[in-house]
Structure 1
């Protein structure tokens, strides 16, 4: 990383004691064709948490993330976002960013232009935006790549640009929908380590969708396992291990134990899918 990390967010504080970042209260989703995407869900994510959503295909992970991002609206229930832990508001502000699996970069624009896009849309003057773009690129290790085009970058580098674009708005909450799913295992592990360090450095609340047991255990303070048909919360697993986490954690007996526990939970969630209360 380009900057020395700040102290890790306190993991000794239980979510119930920490100020919430988002509260999901009895939220469900029925799509226009009658498909029930989610049965009523209650979930609170505390400020500074790193929560991963994992479960079988079709369990509603991306639907839940889209609801939190305010990209779609719930059929019933409420979502409440908090700013600064004090003022409850009904809509998320500009302090929320989302990263998708596809980097979705503009091929005709240089890296710095891609990162600057949210600030351009907010009509921030370029002289004000420039230092924020430089800082975001430094955070993802791409300070010397600002004048390049996306076609000149590897897949991992393009994803770093996408993350920099999300960070340039200085979000309080970062939503990530399988951002590293299409990358090779080596690149994925490297980006997981970098993301974990960014989270330590910036302290933003993170909600992360993944299909990888190893990735979820490595990154998370808490893992939410979901079941399908209809999508619902099935189990939660707290990863009560200190940060920073590196290769020593990945090869430890505790890591293997967490992975086994999560693997069993996922198997049970898969077996439970289709036996939800709405079927």
Structure 2
């Protein structure tokens, strides 16, 4: 696994369900091979809590898949199964049609961005971004080249000498994203990274993320509580229900990429948000046993 992290247990890790009740899931081309196959994977925690019922889900190359649903529905648990931070209690996960031992090879790199940027406060931005390459023993000249490129990608090429405490919350999150991008990942996993930010900063980072994902042809799995963010970013949205966590439905979005304010302000965006809102309401009712 290629990690985007700092030296702590948590940060070191940085290192075809049922169709939507509102819209059928479009079939995929046969040659569009999956990056991740989740095959009847479930999670039961040591205290007996059933975090996830059996989940079946395929993530295809180049997709931007958002996971959304009520609190406690297992979004982050599912993401951590994909990251191999948790092992399923039953079922299995397949990465690039193989097991996790080959993740990290060329074309099979994975990076994880947590909600908390988890930066080293005593280290400058460049050092924070370079950390996963230092841990991997990457040649310093090559590491510096990648750091330069990653900082340009997130618009922080003039902030490399700063310390995290000198940056805004949005800039610190950009550093965390740069630390993931420096590993040149093929699969990017993000656990509600912008949830603590104000709406203006969040929208700007969403703009940057969708551009970056499109330019780099990333496969991205993104956890969010914001239906507006999910609609703006995603090519597919997976709606989850709780008690236990499970897939309730899916919503495909075939809007052109990259997207910007023209899409955010469009009637189409508003209609998709209404459709997703109805799905989330139904998922919440099912989670409470009201359906």
TM score, norm. by length of structure 2: 0.87
Aligned with 1:43: secondary structure? strand
8 Å CA contact retained: 1:230, 1:274: no
Q: Distance in 1 between matches of 2:151 and 2:119?
A: 15
- Tell me which residue corresponds to 1:88: 98
Q: Are positions 1:185 and 2:195 aligned together? A: no
- Tell me which residue corresponds to 1:219: 233
Give per-residue Cα distances to partners, 1:235-255, cap 9 Å, x unaligned: 000011001211110011110
After the TM superposition, which residues 59-208 of structure 1 pair with which residues of structure 2 at under 5 Å, given as runs? 59-82=73-96, 88-91=98-101, 93-94=103-104, 95-208=109-222
8 Å CA contact retained: 1:50, 1:221: yes
Question: Using a 3 Å threshold, how does the CA distance of structure 1 residues 75 and 199 change in structure 2: closer, same or farther?
Answer: same
Match of 1:267 among 258, 272, 281: 281
Give per-residue Cα distances to partners, 1:101-155, cap 9 Å, x unaligned: 1111000000000000100110112222100000000100111111110011110
Q: Distance in 2 between matches of 1:136 and 1:41?
A: 34
1:15 CA drift (Å): 6.4
- Tell me which residue corresponds to 1:6: none
Question: Using a 3 Å threshold, how does the CA distance of structure 1 residues 50 and 214 change in structure 2: closer, same or farther?
Answer: same
Question: Using a 3 Å threshold, how does the CA distance of structure 1 residues 234 and 245 change in structure 2: closer, same or farther?
Answer: same
Aligned with 1:143: secondary structure? coil
Question: Using a 3 Å threshold, how does the CA distance of structure 1 residues 34 and 15 change in structure 2: closer, same or farther?
Answer: farther
Q: Are positions 1:29 and 2:39 aligned together? A: no
Question: Using a 3 Å threshold, how does the CA distance of structure 1 residues 133 and 15 change in structure 2: closer, same or farther?
Answer: farther
1:89 CA drift (Å): 3.1
Give per-residue Cα distances to partners, 1:245-279, cap 9 Å, x unaligned: 11110011110010000000000000000449xxx
Question: Using a 3 Å threshold, how does the CA distance of structure 1 residues 217 and 36 change in structure 2: closer, same or farther?
Answer: same
Q: Distance in 1 between matches of 2:289 and 2:59?
A: 27
Give per-residue Cα distances to partners, 1:42-92, cap 9 Å, x unaligned: 00000100000000000000000000000010000010000xxxx633446
After the TM superposition, which residues 40-51 of structure 1 pair with which residues of structure 2 at under 5 Å, given as runs? 40-51=54-65
Question: Using a 3 Å threshold, how does the CA distance of structure 1 residues 174 and 15 change in structure 2: closer, same or farther?
Answer: farther
- Tell me which residue corresponds to 1:4: none
Q: Are positions 1:255 and 2:269 aligned together? A: yes
8 Å CA contact retained: 1:81, 1:91: no
Structure 2: runs of 5 or more not aligned: 1-25
Q: Distance in 1 between matches of 2:192 and 2:240?
A: 15
TM score, norm. by length of structure 1: 0.91
Q: Distance in 2 between matches of 1:18 and 1:254?
A: 27
Aligned with 1:240: secondary structure? coil
Give the superposed CA RMSD.
1.5
Give per-residue Cα distances to partners, 1:172-206, cap 9 Å, x unaligned: 10000000000000000000000000011101100
- Tell me which residue corresponds to 2:34: 20
Number of equivalences: 261
8 Å CA contact retained: 1:80, 1:91: no
